[in-house]
Amino acid sequence: MASSQALAVTHLGLLERREQLTAADTLTLIRANLPALPGRASRWSGPLAIVLDLADGRLARRQGAVSPFGDYADTLADAAYWT
């Protein structure tokens, strides 16, 4: 998880000069790391990924925090989990 956040913070300026990740960005990174966690094959990992996906999208739109990083990371998190 720490390595994902470090890459996110340094990734080609996608954080638009922000010094920290938003709550929605953090939820996206957690979802992207679900396959690497112990117990990833549990019956709850799929529903958890869906809930996190819905939560980060709603949170970003509600807070007006939709960003190029969030858009990029959301797609990456979907690919990481569902493949």
Q: What is residue 83's predicted lDDT score, i.e. its pLDDT?
A: 73
| DSSP secondary structure letter of residue 35 | G
- Give the pLDDT score at 70: 78
Per-residue pLDDT of the chain (83 residues; tens, 9 = 90+): 566 656 655 554 565 556 667 888 888 888 888 877 776 667 788 888 889 888 988 888 887 767 777 777 888 888 877 77
Q: Which residues contact 59 (CB under 8 A, 6 or more apart)?
A: 22, 23, 24, 27, 65
